[in-house]
Structures are given as C-alpha cells and as structure tokens.
Copies of this chain bind each other. A is one copy, B any other.
Amino acid sequence: RSYTIAVLPGDGIGLEVMPPALRCLEAAAARFGFQLEFRSYPWASCTYYLEHGKMLPDDWKAHLQACDAIYFGAVGDPATVPDHISLWGSILTFRREFDQYINLRPCRLIPGVTSPLANREGKPIDFVTVRENTEGEYSSIGGKIFEGTDRETVIQNTVFTRTGVDRVVRYAFELARRRPAKKLTSATKSNGISITMPYWDERVAEIGKEYPEVTVEKYHIDILCAHFVQRPHTFDVVVGSNLFGDILSDLGPACTGTIGIAPSANLNPSANRADRTKEWFPSLFEPVHGSAPDIAGKGIANPIGMIWAGQMMLDYLGEKDAAEAVMRAIESVLATAKDAQMKGGADLLTPDMRGKGTTEGLGSAIEKEIRG
C-alpha cells in the first residue's frame, strides 16, 4: 500500500509542528508496512504570498488532486498579510473548492493533560464535533452601502441550503448511531436568529426521524457553551453550523486542557478517488490551532494537534492499525510525561500543557513510541 500526501506546513508554528509529525507518520508506515510519499508545497503561506502576491499558484488544484490527502499545518501572519486574504486564499478555499463539507473534531480528556475544570475526576470526556464546513455564516456574500456616512450599513448573508444542512446533519446522525452513547446534540439559536436557525432545527428534526435509535437534544449556542464548561462529559456527537461548530470545537479542547492537541479532519465523504467518472476531491487534515505568531520560532509549540490530525488521516486512508498505534502512542507518552514531570524528571509537556517541554522533545518521544 502506498499513499501520496500533499504536505503544506504554512506559517508560524505550522512549520515547526510539521517535521516531527511527518516523522511520526513515517514511523507508523514503517511499522505497519505501507508507503507514504510526501509532496511538500510552500503555498498557502504568507511567505509565499509576500513573494508571489497570491496564496496559491494557478495550478494548485491539479497538484493537490494528484494526492490521496492533504496534510496542512497552519496559515496566517496578521502582521504582514490581512487574515481575510491569507485564510480565504488558502484553508477556506480548500474547504470550499474541494467541497470538504464535514469538519470533524474529536475532543477527549486524555490522562496526563490537566483540564482547567475542577472535579472532573472519574468522568471521561469524549465527544466529537461535526461542523458544517462550506456555507452558513461563512458565505462571503454581502456588502456595504452609504460608505463613510452616518447611514453606513454593512450586510452579510448567512446561507443554509437543504443539501448543505442535510448532509452534515445526516453524517452526524450516522456517526452517533455507531457510537455507544448514540446521542446527538444540535447547536442552534432559533430563539434569536429567527430565519436560518429554525430551518436548521427543522432539518435536524426531520432527519432525526430516520434514526429512532439516536437520542437527540438541541440547545441554543449560548447555553450550550455554558454546558460545555459545566458538564462536558455528557456530550457524545455535537453538530453545528460553520460558526457554531467553530466556536464549540475551540471551547471543547479548552475545557479538556489545551487546543494544542486538538485535530481536525476536513472531509468530503462523497469523493472517491477510484471512481474515474467523478472529479476527485481530496480531504484535508490539520490541527485545530492556528499559526500562533506569539509563540512561533520558539520551538515550544505542541506537536500533538498535528500528529493527531495525521492519525485521523491514516484512519481515513484505511490504515486502521497504524491509526490505532499513533493514538496509543500519544496517550502513553502523555501519561508517562505527566508522571515524569510530577516526579521531577525530564519534562516533555509543552507550555500549553503546563510544562517546559519542546516541540522536538515531545514529537520525538511519540515517534519513538510509535516505532515500538
């Protein structure tokens, strides 16, 4: 078995977490007997933009479509390139152009990582956020009128399509159905956002009829955020719009300890590379964290978000055993690292996990653990 992976480290800490993560994936490939061909590209970075005046070359699509999956670091450097250019010219373009309509983000309390929440002992936290990833609040439709006057008015549309809503809601139900708790939480705000959100609720209720075995609950986003803090252990699968999914998938990992370990899979579950009658749209795997200009260059970024994203990619590619091994390696290194830290030994935990470790040190420990 052999897979071609487009590697786009991007900016900031993306460049730092990518090398150890690639070594982890190499280690998994070596151990489980498959090949990974990495094709590195400097695009989708502000460095590239500053040289070329654009985030991507004209033939970016063909390059990426020649790959089985995309492994993406992080993009953005607000000091040199405005966010709306760097992000809309890269990650948001990929999601839209490759119709990666599912953004899947697992959230788990992993032993060894200290949660900012008190009294969570003995209550495992293990849920998945399913975020709509192509439409909704990120429509980019709208504009400004009466510019520069007191009547200045700026409007932006939120757009929900039947196709867009149904496919993400159905995906979430399918996921919930296959999990032990069989529970789906829908994020809404239909009491205040009176047109699009009631429609979202309607579709959840309608599609829910096909899944009588799944328990469905809906919460308005304000109180749902409160519940994430107050009882995160009660969630199983959480489905939300582009914006609500974005919020919840940062808040969840913050509650379990650090966004630094959180992974993200941008999936197009309908695409099939074997089917030559349809265009191939690769899926993309990235950490939830961004380029973090504030800590870039210090070598202290947490590499686990990137490695765990790689783990999701292996799973997606069908390398279940390798994926399993990477997950176990992350878990075992974190547990051991916490132990060592408390005993005053070598501290592998990076600062976001309240340690003094480095990207390199933590990444290498996980790599070694994967080699077995």
Contact = CB atoms under 8 A, between A and B. Distances in A.
Contacts of A222: 246-247, 249-251
Q: How many copies does the complex hold?
A: 2
A154 B195 contact: yes
Given A142-B195, A192-B92, A199-B154, A149 B162 contact: yes
A247 B221 contact: yes
Interface stretch (A29-37, A53-61, A225-233): A225-233
B226 A193 contact: no
B246 A156 contact: no
A159 B152 contact: no
Contact of A154 (B83, B144, B160, B191): B160
What class of interface size applies to chain A in its complex with B? 35 or more
Interface in A156-180: 156-163
B84 A230 contact: no
A172 to B, nearest CB: 19
A198 interface: yes
Contacts of A163: 150
Interface string A7-20: 00000000000000
A254 interface: yes
A189 B340 CA distance: 39
A247 B246 contact: no
A225 B196 contact: no
22 contacts: A83-B191, A92-B192, A116-B119, A116-B229, A137-B158, A141-B195, A142-B195, A143-B195, A150-B162, A150-B163, A151-B161, A152-B161, A192-B242, A192-B246, A221-B243, A222-B250, A223-B250, A226-B250, A227-B254, A229-B251, A229-B254, A247-B247
